[in-house]
Amino acid sequence: MTAKTRSESTDKAAPAKKETSPTAVMLRASGLFVLVLLLLFGVLFIKQALHDRVRNNAADVAATYCQYLLNGSFEEAAAMESANTTSVTAEHGRAALATPASSAVSMRVADSSISNDELTASARIEFTGVQNPIAGQKPSTYSSTIELERSSTDEPWRITTPLVTTVEINMPVWTPALLIADEEVAANQASNEESNLPTWTTELTLYPGAYTIGAHALSADLNVAAIPERLARPYGDNPLNFASTITVPLPQTPVTVSFKPFVLLPDNAGEALKANLLTLLNGCIHNNEEESNLCPDFTRTLPADTQLEFDTKLGIVSFPTTSTFRITIVTIRDPATGWSQCSNITGTLSYDEEGQSTIEELTVRRCGER
């Protein structure tokens, strides 16, 4: 073998090395980095999606709670509340809710949030109240927050901040009882002697919603109207019961939760009292023995055919309390004979179950007489 042959054999046994270009290295590194980022974002996306699903589940629980309240399903709503909370005792609320309540008010979950450990959540609730049919004002929208919690991710959500509000209701003194579902839930505890204020106040703890409540009138001669309509609305079959509607907002709203649901319209109580007085006075003149203990002295001296009436131009009727009355500067006269007397009249009243009044005591003094 020649030297040349050996040299050629050596060259074939040791081929030249191929070097990797910098561009190829960068491409490989970039691809690996993108793959890692995609995996990382994928994990985060799945984790966030699962987190959002849990948050949405908590929001659904809050929405279901609100729907129970609107439907008057208070037992179901209370079952969703935490045992550590003080809830409403509204056994009359279901029947009292305006029908259908959902057409008068609305509640919805506006947004929600959840903790990182997914054991606590909150939902912001928006509440829109019933529109004022007289003023034509748009219904106001308020918001409040429901807090939810659970002991573990396997447990159901519980409401820890029930949507209950204590409301103050001002009632006319002539309506001594507040009714819900035809049952008396509050009464004026003041005696007749103490009932010299125009209203009395009671408190109820209620869920948000539109409630129909009733007022029991003391006298059948009263015209008790609902606010703001200022129209008398019957409540049940009793003609002495009148209805009104209150819209209880969410708790923690900027409004003062106080209601004046009833007003006494210009009524016939004063005219009815005058008519009863004339019947009594003429009965005294006509020797009606049943009225003798109430008969003023002047009736005993008038002719038996006298027929008294009141001058309609004078005589202001007032009721200092529900059981007392006063008629100031009224002229009692007999048109046939021309007899007349300026008088100040005071007395006391009682009422039966049908709202009919009876004069129990009567004092008639001449004007200027003490």
pLDDT tens column, 258-273: 889 998 876 677 888 8
Q: Between 1 and 350, name the one with better pLDDT.
A: 350
Exposure on the CB side of residue 228, measured as CA atoms within 13 A: 9
How high is the pLDDT of residue 149?
92
pLDDT of residue 29: 66
Residue indicated by tokens 């939760």: 257
CA–CA gap between residue 39 and residue 324 (Å, rounded): 87
How confident is the model at residue 64, as a pLDDT?
Answer: 92
pLDDT at residue number 102? 43
pLDDT digits (tens, 9 = 90+) for 273-329: 888 899 889 888 887 655 578 888 888 888 888 899 988 777 788 888 888 888 888
State both tokens at 251: 């708790």
- Torsion angle of the four alpha carbons 213, 219, 220, 221, in this order, in degrees rounded to the nearest 10: -110
The percent of residues in the chain predicted with pLDDT above 90, rounded, is: 10
Answer yes or no: is pLDDT of 161 > 80: yes
Task: At 179, list the tokens.
Answer: 């009714």
The model's pLDDT over 72-87, given as tens digits with 9 standing for 90+, comes to: 788 888 888 886 554 5
Q: Would you place residue 133 in the very low, low, confident or very high pLDDT band (cuts 50, 70, 90)?
A: very low
What are the two backbone dihedrals, phi and then psi, of residue 150, each rounded to the nearest 5 degrees?
Answer: -150, 155
* Position with higher pLDDT, 216 vs 127: 216
Q: How far, in Å, are 198, 204, 323, 349, 352 from residue 189 at the CA level? A: 14, 16, 15, 18, 18
pLDDT at residue 101, rounded to an integer: 44
Residue 132: pLDDT band by 50, 70, 90 thresholds? very low
Query: Which pLDDT belongs to residue 352?
Result: 86
pLDDT of residue 242: 92
Strands 177-180, 183-187: pairing kind: antiparallel
Nearest to 204 by CA among 261, 139, 159: 261
Which pLDDT score, from 0 to 100, does residue 173 have? 85
User: Which among 226, 229, 295 has a CA at the least distance from the CA of 262?
Assistant: 226
Q: What is the pLDDT of residue 100?
A: 43
Please, which pLDDT band fits residue 34 given cuts at 50, 70 and 90? Answer: low
* pTM greater than 0.85 (yes/no): no
- CB 262 within 8 Å of CB 225: yes
Locate 259 and state its tokens.
Answer: 């209601």
CA distance 63 to 65: 5
- pLDDT, tens digit, for every residue of 203-249? 888 888 788 889 998 888 888 888 887 888 888 889 999 999 888 87
Angle at 91 between CA 89 and CA 94, to 5 degrees: 120
Up-side HSE of residue 120: CA atoms within 13 Å toward CB? 6
User: For a pLDDT cut of 70, what percent of the chain falls above it?
Assistant: 74
DSSP of 136-178, one letter per residue?
-PPPPEEEEEEEEE-SSTTSPPEESS---EEEEEEEETT--EE
The pLDDT of residue 158: 92
Find which of 33-37, 149-153, 352-356 is predicted with most confidence, using mean pLDDT.
149-153
The arrangement of secondary structure in 47-159, i.e. its CATH architecture, is: Roll (3.10)
